[in-house]
Amino acid sequence: MSTMTAQQSWKAIIGKLRVIGDSAEERRLLETLATPERATVLGFVNAHAMNLVASNRQYGEALLAADVLLRDGAGMKILYRRLGLAPGLNMNGTDLIPKLLAAFKGRRVAFWGTEEPYLSQAAERSEALFGVQVVSVHHGFAEAQTYLDLARQWQPELIVLGMGMPKQEDVAARLASTDTPCLIICGGAILDFLGGKVTRAPQWLRQLGGEWVYRLIREPKRLFMRYVVGNPVFLARTLLCSKATAQDTPGTPRGR
């Protein structure tokens, strides 16, 4: 990927993304992810991730190294529509990861990310709600080797990383070398949500694809660059990508 342009990097990610068409396909995915035969990395790709891919080669490589990549958010739906592709379901981690935690009921889980007291609160809540056994918690600001050592020590069957992009994808790619079968999730802010640091938008706003607006209002300073600056940049890149794709494949029918 080192010689790729930004548009080539985008195309590589789009080609890797797995589109989930309906709830039945989602259930099959959950069943597969809940029974990993080897170290398996699950990642989510939203508009912010695509902006990082365009400017951060190492992040793009780590993202492409994931075993399963899912479309996350309204921005990616816009991109898919512009490319004439069916976007499928919005497979955002905030909704999907709790379902995976439930699927790992009774099994060993590690939460690595965020900070206290939210980390411990996320572990306690997850044990109560999903019946998982949280065997390891650690904040998300250590060196990658720390998490490799923890993985060898505790051998969790599910690892939830809540370190934010691009660090968590780099750590996940390193953890994928472990010999123990496990699912490694790049969870973004999921531990903050589970730990009560961040709250979800109302359901009606989520259905409209506007949760990012709610988060921006709640955390304007931290999320200004991601949304106020990043979203227009993403849309501009979307236009360029769709034009380049149309030139490469003239006459391609547009998806519904």
Domain CATH number, residue 112: 3.40.50.2300
Q: Are 10 and 241 in contact (CB under 8 A)?
A: yes
Could you tell me which of 205, 206, 188 has the C-alpha nearest to residue 197?
A: 188
Instruction: Quote the number of domains for the chain.
Output: 1
CA gap 74, 22 in Å, rounded: 17
pLDDT band at 210 (very low <50, low <70, confident <90, very high): confident
More confident call, 34 vs 4 = 34
Q: Are 108 and 154 in contact (CB under 8 A)?
A: yes
CA gap 174, 151 in Å, rounded: 11
The answer to whether residue 31 is domain-embedded is no
The answer to whether residue 168 is domain-embedded is yes
Could you tell me which of 68, 124, 125, 132 has the C-alpha nearest to residue 101?
A: 132
The answer to whether residue 212 is domain-embedded is no
- Mean pLDDT value across residues 27-44: 97
pTM, full prediction: 0.92
CB within 8 Å of 135: residues ≥ 6 apart: 108, 109, 110, 154, 156
More confident call, 243 vs 121 = 121
- Mean pLDDT value across residues 3-27: 90
pLDDT at 2: 47
The answer to whether residue 139 is domain-embedded is yes
pLDDT digits (tens, 9 = 90+) for 235-245: 999 998 888 87
- The boundaries of the domain holding residue 168 are 92-198
